[in-house]
A and B are shown apart, each in its own frame.
Chain A
Amino acid sequence: MMVDFGDGGDVALARLTGRLDTAGVGSVELAFTARVVPEPRPVLIDLTGLDFIASLGVRMLITTARSRGRNGRVLVMFGAGPEVTDILTTMGLDEIIPLLPDEAAARAAVTD
């Protein structure tokens, strides 16, 4: 499991790659939250390389988005494959964190 960060100009990108299971969350959560929570620009979470997500991964996204939201900061997700989308929508996560099909749609969502 990996997380890496990109500079998208007026937005920040965080790419999650691999399996966001118990072990995966343990390996990236600290780096992910430390970078994403204080980021002043809107953050786009790139899920195109995410192969799997379980509840601990969902919890990590909720706590990160909540911490940002309390400071008026935006976070959206994009690019989830069909299996990851199935789990996110089954949980209803897309009801509280926007899930967009691709980066262009995600950028549009935070700049409109």
Chain B
Amino acid sequence: MTMAAAGPRAAPVCHLPAPAGTLHLRLANDIGAVAAALPDLQAFAQAQQLPARVANRLEVVFEELVSNPIRHGFRPGSDQVLHVQLMRGAQALRLVIEDDGIAFDPLARAAPAPLADLDSAPEGGLGIALVRKLASHVAREAPQLPGMVNRLVVELPLA
């Protein structure tokens, strides 16, 4: 039996057309895509003149919400994708992440209690807990892009 040659892998990050002031990236199923997208995120933060604290919080939320589907929601080696859309509103940044991984609601679990001591501190769920603390709004919504399964909308205060 002859195996079909694998086609060229998609670029880890692809820019898609978006209205002015909006960033739309498509990320491949590659954990390296998280780091590969950082220059685009940082360029957006610079263009929008975001304060350093807000820009850092944006990077943290991006890291948490993009790395999770790639690490846990995608089949290894698949051509599954993740869309990231980022826009600035009057009071908040709006980050929308859609993916075609396994259906998953990261908000289904109750927010963990504040860290009280080392022995009771959780090792899992810290990422979504951090996103909840940083964001003014987090919601799972019906996907809007064709073929996507999950859609998470996060708003980060500008001040």
Seen from chain A, the residues whose Cβ lies within 8 Å of a Cβ on chain B are: 21-23, 52-56, 58-59, 62-63, 65-66, 69, 82-83, 86-87, 90-93, 95-97
Query: Among A52, A58, A65, A86, which residue has its beta carbon within 8 angstroms of that of B118?
Result: A65
A23-B31, A91-B133 are known; give 4 further A-B pairs, CB within 8 A.
Answer: A83-B52, A91-B115, A91-B126, A95-B114
Contacts of A95 in B (CB 8 A): 114-116
B133 near A83: Cβ-Cβ < 8 Å:
no
A63 near B123: Cβ-Cβ < 8 Å:
yes
B53 near A86: Cβ-Cβ < 8 Å:
yes
Instruction: From known contacts A21-B34, A23-B31, infer whether A83 and B56 are also in contact, taking CB-CB under 8 Å.
Output: yes
B63 near A54: Cβ-Cβ < 8 Å:
yes
Residue of B nearest to A53 (CB): B60
CA distance A21 to B63 in the complex (A): 7
Contacts of B34 in A (CB 8 A): 21-23
Smallest beta-carbon distance A14→chain B, Å: 17
> Count of A-B contacts with CB under 8 A?
75
Cβ of B67 under 8 Å from chain A: yes
Contacts of A52 in B (CB 8 A): 56, 59-60
Contacts of A65 in B (CB 8 A): 118
Instruction: From known contacts A92-B114, A95-B115, A96-B116, infer whether A87 and B121 are also in contact, taking CB-CB under 8 Å.
Output: no
Query: Among B63, B116, B119, B134, which residue has its beta carbon within 8 angstroms of that of A22?
Result: B63
Contacts of B123 in A (CB 8 A): 59, 62-63
CA distance A93 to B116 in the complex (A): 9
Contacts of B121 in A (CB 8 A): 62, 66, 96
CA distance A96 to B119 in the complex (A): 10
Residue of A nearest to B127 (CB): A55
